[in-house]
Amino acid sequence: MNSTKLTLKKMIFFGYHGVYAEERKLGQQIEVDVELVSDLTEAGLKDDLELTVNYVDVYEAVRKIVETEQFSLIEGMALAILNRLGKKYTLKSITVRVRKPQPPVGGVVEAAEFEISKEF
């Protein structure tokens, strides 16, 4: 059995997340990366979309979570994404990274990032 990885990097969405009321009111940019490890060899050999993890569907699943659900913590958002994609696809493992650019920390920070992984 082969191991293949599909990665979607720096998906950018706008959502209303955070601990502070102002974050939830004004909203902010959220960045998400996902890495899905599976055996997609047959999809490549047969060149068949039905046999692979469709990255359009992955993007839409992530977009729906970020743009329609509300989280206080990026940890909760990352876990929701991991659980949704883990149930939808046959995977060996998944890694999800959620970044909040320029978080309200009282100083200069490029981004706060949380990463979670799971093996199946």
- The set of catalytic residues is 100
Residue in this structure with the two tokens 């082969």, named with its chain if needed: 2
> Domain limits of the chain?
4-119
Give the number of residues written for the chain.
Answer: 120
**Rounded to whole angstroms, how far apart are CA atoms 81 and 79?**
5
Q: What is the pLDDT of residues 90-113, one digit of tens each?
A: 999 999 999 999 998 899 999 999
CATH class, domain 4-119, is alpha beta
- To the question of pTM greater than 0.85 for the whole model, the response is yes
Nearest to 28 by CA among 20, 40, 37: 20
Q: What is the pLDDT of residues 51-87, one digit of tens each?
A: 999 999 999 999 999 999 999 999 999 999 999 999 9
